[in-house]
Amino acid sequence: LRVRERAVLPASVRSDLDNDLTAPAEIECMSQPRILMLGPPGAGKGTQSANLADEYDVSHITTGDALRANKDMDISDMDTEYDTPREYMEAGDLVPDAVVNAIVDEALSSADGFVLDGYPRNPEQADELEDMTDLDVVLSLEVSRDELVARRTGRRVCDDCGTNYHVEFDQPEVEGVCDGCGGDLVQREDDNEESVRNRLNVFDENTQPVIDGYENHDGYVAIDGERTPDEVWADIRSAVEEHAE
C-alpha cells in the first residue's frame, strides 16, 4: 500500500506562477517493510538482502549475525544442554531450533522493518515465524542447479581479508591475487562440487518445503535469479513496491 499526500499551493500563489514546477506536488511515503528472502545457497540472497536493507532503511537479519549478537543470551530456562548460545558455538555443536527461534524472535521484535535472510530453514521454523511477525513480502530467488554449482565452485576467497571473487563473474586484476590486500585467493574446502551438491540436496529436503508453503502467501513473488544482479534487483524492488504496506 502506498500512501500519497498532495501538497497544493494556495490559489493566490498559483495564479501568480505559470510553469510546470507549480503543479501539485506528490509526496510518497512507505512504511518500513517486513521482507523474507528465500532461495538456495548461491542464489544471491545476501547481495540482494543488503540492497533491500539500504534501499528501505531496514535491518538485515541473518541467523548467523543474530546468533553472534546474542551469543551470551541466557537460555538456562529452555532445558538445553548449555546455558548460552556461545557454548554451543565454541563446542562446534548445532544450536537447537528452540534457541535459534528465540534469538530470531528477539531480533525481529527490536526492528521496525527488516529483511530476514537464512531463516526459516525448515517447516517447523516457518511455523514459529508465523507466530513472531506478519510478513509483507516473501521473495524466492529461483536459480537452476547447474548455475548454482557453477557459482559456488567458481568462488575464490582471499585467504587474508575474506573478500569474495569468482573465476568467471568477478575476477581480480591479477589472477589469484586479492585486489584489496594482495592476499592469495583460495577455494574453500566446502566449495568443491561434491560438497556443493550435497548442500543443495540438504536444501531441497529441508528448506524447499518452506518455499512451497509460502506460495499461497499474498506477498509471495518468485524472482528469476539467473539474470544480472541489477536485473534481479529491479524485479525485487518492483515486488516490494507492489506488496509492501
One-character DSSP codes across 122-139? SHHHHHHHHHH---SEEE
Which grid cell is 11? 490559489
Supply the pTM of this predicted model. Answer: 0.78
SS3 label, residue 30: coil
Q: Output the average pLDDT for the chain.
A: 86
Respond yes or no: is residue 199 known to be catalytic: yes
**Candidate list 151, 152, 155, 156, residue with the active-site label:** 155
For residues 232 and 148, the answer to whether their CB atoms sit within 8 Å is: no
121 assigned to active site? yes
What's the rounded Cα separation, in Å, for the pair 36 and 213? 13
Q: Among residues 71, 86, 121, 237, which one is catalytic?
A: 121
Q: What is the mean pLDDT of residues 2-22?
A: 41
What backbone phi and psi angles, to 5 degrees, belong to 124? -65, -45
What's the pLDDT score for residue 206?
94
pLDDT of 85 reads: 83
Phi, psi (rounded to 5 degrees) for 43: -80, -15
Residue with grid cell 545476501, as numbered in its chain = 46
Give catalytic status of residue 237 as yes or no. no
**Which residue out of 86, 197, 199, 237 is catalytically annotated?**
199
pLDDT at 73 over 90: no
Q: Which of 45, 151, 152, 156 is catalytic?
A: 45
Helix or strand (DSSP H, E) at 198: helix 193-206
Q: What is the pLDDT of residues 91-114, one digit of tens each?
A: 777 788 888 999 899 899 989 899
Would you say the C-alpha torsion 160, 194, 139, 107 has a positive or negative sign? negative
**Helix (H/G/I), strand (E/B), else coil: 234:** helix
Q: Is 14 annotated as catalytic? A: no
The pLDDT value given to residue 245: 67
Q: pLDDT band at 30, cuts 50/70/90?
A: low
| 156-176 residues labelled b (16+ CB within 10 A) or e (exposed) | bbbeeeebebeeeeeebeeee
The pLDDT, as a whole number, for residue 83 is 82
Lowest mean pLDDT among 70-84, 132-146, 201-215: 70-84
Catalytic residue among 2, 14, 68, 188: 188
The CA distance from 105 to 102, in Å, is: 5
71 noted as active-site residue: no
pLDDT at 9 > cutoff 80: no
